Amino acid sequence: MTGSILKHGIAIVRIVLGAIFLYAGVVKAGDTKAFAGSIEAYRLLPYFGNYLAASILPWVEIICGVLLVTGWRAKAGATVTILLNLVFIVAMASAVARGLEIDCGCFRQGAKDPPLLAIGRDILFLVMAGLVLLQDRLTANK
């Protein structure tokens, strides 16, 4: 019974996480130039690197979102999501450490999420993806 509840709970977590990443990816893919500007604000990449990252990252989010929502190859989606969030957290923490007051570029461009809120949200996503990745282990003995 507990195992069944846990499985359903993780499935819901997976679908919610996937939907969030799908949304974030679609919004960014629709305005690559603005997203390049958001990445530029972190001052981590060269000029062309900002455009390259802005072209690729939304599609990583979209594909991960689709995999998580559908459940097909969900562990691969969760693995990449973890990697992605680790990169986001390091980039945001580096911006905070350098005193940069920036829009995180997480979702809609121009949204003014405080950096610590953005980091906290990424940690939550990290935990959610971790649950999906460790689903078998968590439900094995239930």
Residue range at the interface with other proteins (CB under 8 A); choices 59-67, 86-94, 116-124? 59-67
**Residue 125 binds other proteins, judged by CB under 8 A:** no
In sequence order, what DSSP letters do the residues of the chain get, joined into one string? -HHHHHHHHHHHHHHHHHHHHHHHHHHHHTTHHHHHHHHHTT--S-HHHHHHHHHHHHHHHHHHHHHHHH-TTHHHHHHHHHHHHHHHHHHHHHHHHTT------SSSTT----HHHHHHHHHHHHHHHHHHHTHHHHHTT-
**Residue 80 binds other proteins, judged by CB under 8 A:** yes
* Binding test (CB under 8 A) with other proteins, winner from 23, 37, 107, 130: 37
71 vs 93 by CB, closer to other proteins: 71
* Binding test (CB under 8 A) with other proteins, winner from 23, 44, 73, 107: 73
Summarize as ranges the residues that interact with other proteins (CB under 8 A): 7-8, 10-12, 14-15, 29, 31-34, 36-38, 40-41, 47-48, 50-52, 54-60, 62-64, 67, 70-77, 79-80, 83, 101-103, 109-110, 112, 132-133, 135-136, 139
